Amino acid sequence: MEHSTKQLVEAKKQLSSLHHKTSEVVKTLEAKQEVNRYKSQITLAKRRVEAFEVALELIEKELNK
């Protein structure tokens, strides 16, 4: 499926925002006193951060073609 440059730029913008917000969630959860209580939420948020990084990298590669 082909996407326009405009679509890719907008997707990158939105994913960058979500990446930043999710990274902040990880920091917040890791700063909690009972960090073990939030272990599954931290793991999920970290996996999402990694997924956003992969998606952003792929979008960047597509934009640079």
pTM of this structure? 0.90
Whether 1 has a pLDDT exceeding 90, the answer reads no
Q: Supply the pLDDT for residue 50.
A: 98
Q: CA 33, CA 36: separation in Å to the nearest integer? A: 9
What digits encode the pLDDT tens for the residues 3-62? 999 999 999 999 999 999 999 999 999 999 999 999 999 999 999 999 999 999 999 999
Q: Supply the pLDDT for residue 14.
A: 98
Q: Where are the beta strands (DSSP E) in the chain?
A: none
Helix, strand and coil content of the chain, in percent to the nearest 5, comes to 85, 0, 15
